[in-house]
Amino acid sequence: MSVRALLPFATALLLSVPAHGKQPTVIIDPGHGGGQAGASSASGYREKNLSLQLAQKLGAELEKLGAKVWLTREKDAHLPLADRVAFSRSHPADLFISLHANSMPTQWARRRTEGIETYFLSANASGEEARKTAARENAEVQAAPEAAGDDTLAFILADLQRSEAHVDSSRLAYSVHQKLVAATGATDRGVQQAPFYVLMGVEAPAILVEVGFISHPTEGKKLQDAKYQDLIVQALAEGVTTFLEQVGARDTKAEAEPK
Ligand SMILES: [Zn+2]
């Protein structure tokens, strides 16, 4: 049974929850944490801190709108990627959002590369930059290869691609991405696909958002600014709301149609 079948009343968000329905549930995954700091701005602002700040703000916003929210981590602590996936499997949710900031390796590229990318899972990256981004975000797993065998990953990917959740992941990615680019005015680097470990095995519709390049001199500064963070959070919340309304309307219609 799909998660959606268990939670058919996603339209309850922003509305009163039907007596026979369930509250929409969201998992927010702040990237990195503890000794895994992730990327860093020129001034030393860490991706792990940005992702947690955004996750906490987004969680509060979605709770205000009526959703139930789980964060995979609530403090600055190391949480292996496999544990994030395991968390999602033990906490059935309507959707899963992993929050990150991107980075470039060289001074030349750091000065030139900025913008927002929203990813959903695919076995093959949508381009060379997407492949490198996934490799960077997956580095924690590659440092501990016993965490997941290749066969397991191949199986999970094949399984996921058959599922309705994969189609909905793409829908969620576009919904969130459009709002983000419109709200921030940041460079639109598009909705992309790549094999992110943290998205593999998540049964709910799942995306990974690179909210900007923390390594860019200007964008890195902006990402540290509370007001700019609020723009990002508002856009994420609107994207989530739109997605839940869309799938809620579809599932309600499907249930009403004769079998
Ligand atoms: Zn990251």
User: How many whole angstroms from 31 Cα to the centroid of ligand 1?
Assistant: 5
Encoding tokens for residue 123? 């076995």
CA distance 144 to 155: 19
Q: How much is the pLDDT for 203?
A: 87
How far apart are the CA of 32 and the centre of ligand 1, in A? 6
Question: Which burial class, exposed, middle or buried, applies to 43 when counting CB atoms under 10 A from its CB (0-12, 13-18, 19+)?
Answer: exposed
> 3-class DSSP state for residue 29?
strand
User: Amino acid identity, residue 139?
Assistant: A
Q: Measure 152 CA to ligand 1 centroid, in angstroms.
A: 23
Give the pTM: 0.87
Ion ligand 1, residues whose Cβ is below 5 A away: 31, 38, 100, 137
* Ordered per-residue pLDDT tens for the chain, 259 residues: 444 444 444 444 453 332 335 789 999 999 999 999 999 999 999 999 999 999 999 999 999 999 999 999 999 999 999 999 999 999 999 999 999 999 999 999 999 999 999 999 988 899 999 999 999 999 988 655 444 556 667 666 666 666 777 889 999 999 999 999 999 999 999 999 999 999 988 889 999 999 999 999 999 999 999 999 999 999 999 999 999 988 888 887 777 776 5
Give 3: exposed, middle or buried? Use CB within 10 Å, 0-12, 13-18, 19+.
Answer: buried
How many angstroms does the Cα of residue 9 sit away from the middle of ligand 1?
Answer: 32
Distance 47 CA to ligand 1 centre (A): 7
Q: Measure 256 CA to ligand 1 centroid, in angstroms.
A: 42
Question: What is the distance in A from the centroid of ligand 1 to the CA of 251?
Answer: 33
Distance 25 CA to ligand 1 centre (A): 23
pLDDT value at residue 14: 53
In the CATH hierarchy, which fold is given to the domain comprising 3-256? Answer: Aminopeptidase (3.40.630)
**Which pair of tokens denotes residue 1?**
């049974």
